[in-house]
Amino acid sequence: MFRRRRSVAYFAHDPSHRLLLAPDADDDGEFTCDGCQVVGAGPRYLCDHPGCGFKLHEVCARRFPRSLKSIVHSKHRLKRRESAGGGDGSKCEVCGDDVKSACYGCDAGACASATVVVHPLCVHLPPVARGSAEAHPGGHDSWLVQKASEGGAASTCAACGRGIDGTWRYRCGTCREDVHPRCLVPAADQCRGGEASTVAMAKQCCLSAENDVIGCLNISYYYR
Ligand SMILES: [Zn+2]
Ligand SMILES: [Zn+2]
Ligand SMILES: [Zn+2]
Ligand SMILES: [Zn+2]
Ligand SMILES: [Zn+2]
Ligand SMILES: [Zn+2]
């Protein structure tokens, strides 16, 4: 595990407060990020101002630039926002869940009127992921793809059986099945480790003779 002690400020928090990687960053317990209001786990940043208690996903503390390009919205740069705007009920373009706080939005072209918003975690979803055995038995790689143009049969999630309302889904080319992004890569699992540590964990696990293949598949995702 790499240790980064440098403190950070968060754009939507008191600029005089500094956040530090929690000393118990290996703690696997789940928590709700005070930045984006999405549940996470694993490494987190805590405000060191006495009595403040503000906490953030590592992603929200360290990978939340003012604007970015993401594969989930390749047409335009996405811009950081303190809230979804447009009142309650804004849905993430990628996962279809409510966007309750800090996020990315697009205000270019036709997107401006359509209130395109994306969770800060969802802009970093891996392009290729391998779900847990429950999410996708068989252990195939699935690709993050956008819904085909309007029309066509509505997709149903192979993991939970519910319809896929969001624009994006993971598709297994082998099984020709679609799964909700968050059914394949739960937000808490996505926060649990950075790319590097997830890959390292997978290798370590697969090299150990005690672990069978199914055990390895429980590592929720990996990057290429
Ligand atoms: Zn967050
Ligand atoms: Zn604070
Ligand atoms: Zn989302
Ligand atoms: Zn746009
Ligand atoms: Zn699902
Ligand atoms: Zn498959």
Distances (CA, A) of 71 to 13, 66, 80, 112, 113: 28, 17, 16, 18, 21
Q: CATH code at 165?
A: 3.30.60.20
Ligand found nearest the CA of 48: 2
pTM: 0.80
Domain boundary among 100, 124, 148: 124
Same domain, yes or no: 132 and 213: yes
pLDDT tens digits for range 17-32: 999 998 765 566 899 9
Tell me how far the alpha carbon of residue 17 lies from the centroid of ligand 5, in angstroms. Answer: 38
Tell me how far the alpha carbon of residue 29 lies from the centroid of ligand 2, in angstroms. Answer: 21
What does the pLDDT read at residue 27? Answer: 62
Here the tokens at position 133 are 């055995």
Asked if residue 24 belongs to a domain, the reply is yes
Domain boundary among 124, 139, 169: 124
Same domain, yes or no: 212 and 133: yes
Tell me how far the alpha carbon of residue 13 lies from the centroid of ligand 2, in angstroms. Answer: 7
Domain boundary among 77, 97, 124: 124
Same domain, yes or no: 14 and 36: yes
What does the pLDDT read at residue 166? Answer: 82
Same domain, yes or no: 81 and 11: no
Same domain, yes or no: 133 and 179: yes
| Ion ligand 3, residue ranges at CB < 5 A | 92, 94-95, 119, 122
Residue 206, pLDDT > 80, answer no
Asked if residue 120 belongs to a domain, the reply is yes
Of the pLDDT bands very low, low, confident and very high (cuts 50, 70, 90), residue 9 is very high
pLDDT tens digits for range 57-101: 999 999 999 999 998 998 899 999 999 886 667 899 899 899 999
Tell me how far the alpha carbon of residue 119 lies from the centroid of ligand 4, in angstroms. Answer: 14
Decide if 92 contacts 118 (C-beta within 8 A): yes
Asked if residue 223 belongs to a domain, the reply is no
Same domain, yes or no: 169 and 190: yes
Residue 220, pLDDT > 50, answer no
Q: What percentage of the chain exceeds 70 in pLDDT? A: 77
Asked if residue 222 belongs to a domain, the reply is no
Sheet architecture: strand order including 19-21? 19-21, 44-47, 55-57
Summary mean pLDDT of the chain: 81
What gap in Å lies between CA 95 and CA 88, rounded to an integer?
Answer: 17
What does the pLDDT read at residue 153? Answer: 63
What does the pLDDT read at residue 159? Answer: 93
- Domain membership of residue 111 as a residue range: 67-124
Same domain, yes or no: 25 and 9: yes
Q: What is the mean pLDDT of residues 173-195?
A: 85
What does the pLDDT read at residue 194? Answer: 44
Q: Which helix (H) or strand (E) holds 118?
A: strand 116-118
Residue 128, pLDDT > 70, answer yes
